[in-house]
Structure 1
Amino acid sequence: MKVILLSDVKNLGKKGDIVETAEGYGRNYLIPRKLAKEANTMNMNQALQDKKVAEHRAAQRKDEAVMLAAQVEKVTVKLKLKVGANGKLFGAVTSKDVAEALIKQTGLEVDRRKIELNDTVKLPGSYTAVAKLHPEISAKFNVIVETDEN
């Protein structure tokens, strides 16, 4: 029996795949649990159309990520933070701090969960951060931590 998967099924396939299964497995397990639908001509055409739309959207997201990466790589983010008597920062600089400074200084919105700092930032200086904008695309940019003289 041919079925179109409506969600990922372990050891069978991913969402949107058209797979051949045993008659009983398809009728008694996959279809009642809304994990698959029968692969008739109408459902096949719909699945192919959905797949084309998904591929087009993925290509658009990748193009947007490439453009954003080109902009982010040109940026240098400057942070002014208070420093203790020993020259260390009060706490460490996190990806959230870098993301907020990036938005404030440039207007480029990058999710804080996609920004990674290579080193723990506890001292003033220059550091490199990586923004993972897409599974295949990442952009490196500089983060400069300065002392705030207030």
Structure 2
Amino acid sequence: MKVIMLQDLKKVGKKGDIVEVAEGYGRNFLIAKKYAVEATKQNINVAQAQKKSAERKKQQASDEARLMASQLSQVEITIPVRVGEGSRLFGSVTSKDVALTLKEKHNIDIDKRKIDIKNITCLGDYTATIKVHPEITSTITVHVVEK
């Protein structure tokens, strides 16, 4: 019996896949628990349309991420901090500080967990890597100056 998977199921298939299973397993388990539907012509057409739609959305998200990454690569931010003896910072500059500065100065809202920056404890220029998309990253320049 052929069924179209509605959910990911280990050792059976992923969502949207058309798989061949035993008659009893398909009717009594997969279809009964709403893990799958029978693979009729109409259901196959619907599944293919949904797959194409999902691919289009994924491609659009990737294109938007590339555009955002190219815009971010041109951004430079300046973070003023309090400095102690020997131009050492009180504390350090973190990804949270970078995210707040991006939001305030450039109106770019990025989650602090997507910003990768090494531990900054001195004045100077640094680079921060931002994950815009799972496969796409961008770098920005961070200037740490005395307040």
| TM-score (norm. length: structure 1) | 0.87
Q: CA deviation at 1:86?
A: 5.5
What is the aligned partner in structure 2 of residue 42 from structure 1? Answer: 42
Query: C-alpha separation between the residues in 1 aligned to 2:91 and 2:128?
Result: 18
CA shift in 2, pair 1:20/1:110, >3 Å: same
Q: Is the 8 A contact 1:72 1:108 kept in 2?
A: no
Task: State the AA in 2 paired with 1:120.
Answer: N
Question: Where does structure 1 lack aligned partners over 5 or more consecutive residues?
Answer: none
Amino acid at match of 1:5: M
Q: Which has the higher strand share?
A: 2
* AA of the residue aligned to 1:136: E
User: Counterpart in 1 of 2:132?
Assistant: 133
Q: Secondary structure at the match of 1:92?
A: strand
- 2:76 pairs with 1:68: no
Report deviation, 1:112.
2.2
Instruction: Please give the per-residue CA displacement for 1:89-138, whole angstroms capped at 9, x wherever unaligned.
Output: 33332222211211222122323222111x11222222111111112211
Gaps of 5+ in 2: none
Calculate the aligned-residue CA RMSD, in Å: 1.7
Q: Which segments of structure 1 move beyond 6 Å, counting only runs of 4 or more?
A: none
What percent of counterpart residues are identical? 48
User: For residue 142 of structure 2, what is the aligned residue in structure 1?
Assistant: 143
Distance apart, 1:55 and its partner CA:
0.8
Letter of the 1:145 partner, please give it. V
Q: TM-score, normalising length from structure 2?
A: 0.89
State the alpha-carbon separation in 2 of the partners of residues 33 and 123 from structure 1. 59
Q: Specify the code of the residue in structure 2 equivalent to 1:47.
A: A
Match of 2:14 in 1: 14
Q: Measure the CA separation in 1 of the matches of 2:90 and 2:36.
A: 54
Comparing 104-113 with 60-69, greater Cα deviation is found at 104-113
Q: Deviations over 1:53-89 (max 9, x none)?
A: 1111111111111110110000111111223345433
Question: What is the one-letter code of the residue matched to 2:53?
Answer: V
Question: How many positions carry a matched residue from both structures?
Answer: 147
Partners of 1:30 and 1:121 in 2: CA distance: 54
**In structure 2, what residue type is equivalent to 1:23?**
E
